[in-house]
Structure 1
Amino acid sequence: MSLVGQPAPDFTLPSSAGEPVTLSSYRGNQTVVLVFYPLDFSPVCSMQLPEYSGRQDDFTEAGAVVLGINRDSVHAHRAWAAEYGIEVPLLSDMNLNVARQYGVSIDDRGVSGRAIFLIDRSGVVRYEHLEAETGQYTVRPETVLAKIREL
């Protein structure tokens, strides 16, 4: 079921940045890009998140914040971010509750699928993409930046 056109499910999760992050705190201020990904330190994720992080200035210029989300702990997030130079906040959804709210939990594997959700300043989902396979990575930062500029 698509969330496009619906209010984004709100959540508060612990973050690699140290403070909990609440999605609704961005409402009225910034567009939010949620990047769900399966696992820290895995090959495709170790390409995807550094690529999004490397475009952080472009996202900031477009009035957007990028948040990575998966089931790994804050400690794993910090180690991975340090090793790969990832500067975007990485949120810990250890029980996959947020992934379930967004329809991207792969419960039998205990991970989330690879997915992108673009949430506008009013808190409404404007774009979503779930990869057919967790090993796929087809929605690059430039695609999401183009979608943000269309809002």
Structure 2
Amino acid sequence: MGRPTILRATGERSAPNGRTTRPVFLTPCFQSLRDSGRHPVDRNAAISASDSPIAVLPAGTQAPDFSLNATPDQALALHELSGRPVVLVFYPADWSPVCGDELVLFNTALPLIAKSGATVLGISVDSVWCHQAFIADRKLGFELLSDFEPKGAVARRYGAYDAEHGYCKRALFVIDAQGTIAWSYLSPTAINPGVDGVLDALDALPKG
């Protein structure tokens, strides 16, 4: 399998006062929809269209703490990042085309995410060995955590586990410095949700 196409910023946003703000990140799917004159999937509609009767944890919920392995002998706990925003990226599997594109997009957007002081963590049910190989191949600059055993235990607590298929749903969470979920989004599995929703949520967090 070849490398996924690197998703890039396709334009810049203009603020109401005419000033140029940060680039707009569009996935190939969303780009084609824009070019064809159609509208991309509405975020709220995507949540209601989920196959699961249980939605992801909503904004205002205290984020469940967890500890997952990033390497065979090193674990990372959510509470260790207390005092700074955290972005959780739940995704089905390493090496799948959509997941590869999504994670590369987040990697491209790391400089923008870093402006808010946020830490990005990817989570799937893949093993730590699989994650390490995937990070090296895609040259990712953030950790991928293994929700491997008990399988999907953390994803289940966030409402982000697909029990029918045995993998994590494609879900995004922005957690504020106090450990509260500030924003969440559940995407259809086959659609790369992009990073703009995360950037907007980080921009909306209280400053200072």
Bin of the TM-score, shorter chain as denominator length? over 0.9
Whether 2:45 is the aligned partner of 1:45: answer no
Give the letter aligned to residue 124 of structure 1: T
Match of 1:124 in 2: 180
Q: Percent identity?
A: 36
C-alpha distance in 1 between matches for 2:155 and 2:180: 17
TM-score by length of 1: 0.92
Q: Deviations over 1:5-49 (max 9, x none)?
A: 011000000014963110111112x10000000000000001000
Structure 2 residue 162 is the aligned partner of structure 1 residue 106: yes
> Which residue of 2 is the match for residue 10 of structure 1?
65
Equivalence map 1:2-151=2 (5 Å): 2-16=57-71, 19-28=74-83, 30-94=84-148, 95-131=151-187, 133-138=188-193, 140-151=194-205
Kept in 2, the 8 Å contact 1:36–1:69? The answer is yes
Q: Structure 2 CA distance, aligned partners of 1:128 and 1:141?
A: 12
Structure 2 Cα separation of the partners of residues 93 and 17 of structure 1? 12
- State whether residues 101 and 192 of structure 2, in contact with CA within 8 Å, keep that contact through their aligned partners in structure 1: no
Q: In 1, are the aligned partners of 2:71 and 2:128 still within 8 Å (CA)?
A: yes
Q: Secondary structure at the match of 1:7?
A: coil
**Aligned AA for 1:67?**
L
Deviation at 1:143, TM superposition (A): 2.5
How far apart, in 2, do the equivalents of 1:134 and 1:100 lie? 16
Structure 1 consecutive aligned stretches of length 4 or more whose deviation exceeds 6 Å? none
1:62 CA displacement: 1.3
CA distance 1:16–1:52, change in 2 (3 Å): farther
Q: Which amino acid aligns with 2:81?
A: Y
**Code of the aligned partner of 1:25:** E
CA RMSD of aligned residues (A): 1.4
Rounded to whole Å, the distance in 1 between the matches of 2:111 and 2:65 is: 25
Letter in 2 for 1:134: T
**Taking structure 2 as the reference length, what is the TM-score of the superposition?**
0.68
Quickly say closer, same or farther: Cα 1:57–1:16, change in 2 above 3 A.
farther
Higher-Rg structure is 2
Tell me the distance in 2 between the aligned counterparts of 1:146 and 1:103.
22
Unaligned runs of 5+ in 1: none
- Residue by residue, what CA displacement relative to the aligned partner does 1:35-73 show, whole Å, maximum 9, x if unpaired? 000000000001000110122122112110100000001
Higher RCO (CA-CA < 8 Å; seq separation 6+): 1
Aligned partners of 2:181, 2:129: CA distance in 1, in Å? Answer: 29
